[in-house]
Each structure stands twice: as C-alpha cells, then as structure tokens.
Amino acid sequence: MKKRLVLLFVALAFAGCSPALRAAGKRAHLVTLHVYYVPSEQYKTIEFAPPPAPDSAAQNADRAVIMDWQAKRTEADCAKANETAKAGYDSFWGAKSPFPAPLPPEVKEFFRHVGSDLEDAVTNLKDRYRRPRPYAAYPGQAVPCIEKSRGYSYPSGHSTFSRVFASVLTDIMPERRDEFFAKADEIALDRVIGGVHFPSDIAAGKAFGDQFHAELLKSEVYREDIEKVKTFLIK
C-alpha cells in the first residue's frame, strides 16, 4: 500500500481514504523518509515467516476461507467491511475516542510519527514477499465486495496498523485494552470478509504488529511522547 496507509491512519491519526488523500500519497513518495521511533530498514532483512507457498496446503486453506466468506457474506457484512476499510479515526473509535474532538495537534502529530515509521516497515515486508491479493491470485474466482487495494497482500497493512495502534492506545489507557484489541481484530477480519486479504495475511499483520510495538517500547522518545499525549485524554 506504500504511503497510502500512512495517510489512512495518520492525517487525522488514522485519516480517511479520499481521492485527495490518495493524491497526497503520491506526493508523499517525494518526501525524504524520517525515522521517529523505529528504523524501517531492518525489515528488509529481519527474520519473519514468509506467506504460504503457492499450491501448498496452507495456501489452499487460505483460499477455502476466502471462498467460504464470499459465499456467505451479506450486503451488511460488505457495507461494514467497506467502512472499516476507510480506517478513519471516527470510524475506528467514533464516540469512544479517548481524546477530545477535534484531536489536539500534538496527538495527531504523535500518531503521524508512529504511522510513518510503521508504514515504511510494512512496505519493506510487503516488497520482500510480493504476495498477490486473493482476487489477483484467483482471478474470476475470488471477487471482493469492497474496493480493491493496491500493493501486495502479505502482511495485511490494516491488520498491522490496527494492531499497533491498539497497542499504542493501550500504552496510553491500559484499562481499555480489551476494547482496543477487539476493535483491531474486527477491522482485520473485515479485510478477509471483504475479499482483499487471506487469513494468513491477517495473522502475519498481527504478529508483525506485536513485533513492531515491542520495538516502539525500546524507544525512549516514544515512551516520553506517550506520557505527553496522556495529558490530552478526556478526563
């Protein structure tokens, strides 16, 4: 997804996916990358399990799940998957946001920094494995019911981002951990229901999200920034 997911999760601290933002995403390629908390270069070579091999039992199991959801999903399922695909802050948390609306600039900037590092890391992993999405792997068979996504399938960007930001929000408000992770899991599953990711993409996104968050916690700057944004929480 290249810089698209940064725009999705960052411009409004998980910003929405609009034509204007997609245009901004193209311009973002021209911006020199900056490391805020976690260097992304390591993810070009760091050990991480690859996706299932083509025609393997695991790949066939992935395909079976995609086709099963395709057969049983409803219009309401697809409408919901289309909403969570936007990944906008309001659609992510809505009235349950722990921060005031509109988001304070300092909070938006914090999430932008996390998202920038994470997007570069995810892109490096996707470019390593270059797994085609379900509808590209099985043209004419796997048919998504939401907008097709650009880029490679493994790991799922939405799964990774929602997992990392659930972890980040848990660092800020640990008492709401279960709520944050339940929402992240919901967003991740909707990518399978919508037909744009395999189940193993989702599992990999969650695993990578946990791995990336562990690196975040090693950053003293990140830990300091967490304490700063806590001061903006709704009391």
Residue ranges of domains in the chain, CATH in brackets? 4-43+58-230 (1.20.144.10)
Which of these, 153, 165, 196, 22, lies nearest to 89 by C-alpha position? Answer: 165
Contact predicate 198/61, CB 8 Å: no
Indicate if the pLDDT at residue 82 is higher than 70: yes
Secondary structure of 174-198 in the HEC alphabet? HHHHHHHHHHHHHHHHHHHHCCCCC
- CA pair distance 78, 5, nearest whole angstrom: 20
Q: What is the mean pLDDT of residues 113-125?
A: 94
Residue with tokens 């791995």: 211
Pairwise pLDDT comparison (20 vs 232), residue with the higher score: 232
- Taking phi over 0 as left and psi of -120 to 50 as alpha, with beta for the rest, 146 belongs to beta
- For residues 174 and 148, give the distance between their C-alpha atoms in angstroms, rounded to a whole number: 35
Give the Cα separation of 85 and 149 in Å (integer).
10
More confident residue, 92 or 145: 145
Cα 40 to the center of its chain, rounded Å: 16
> What's the one-letter identity of residue 105?
P
List the single range of 46-55, 86-95, 185-194 with lowest mean pLDDT: 86-95
| Res 162 pLDDT > 60 | yes
- Dump pLDDT digits (tens) for 177-190: 999 999 999 999 99
CA–CA dist 118, 35 (Å, integer):
10
Query: What is the model's pLDDT at position 33?
Result: 63
Contact 52, 148 (CB under 8 A): no
Q: Average pLDDT for residues 14-43, to the nearest whole number?
A: 56
DSSP class of 156: -
Position 17 confidence tier, pLDDT thresholds 50, 70, 90:
very low
Question: First vs last Cα of the chain: how many Å apart?
Answer: 36
pLDDT score of 168 more than 90: yes
Measured in degrees and rounded to the nearest 5, phi and psi for residue 148 equal: -65, 145
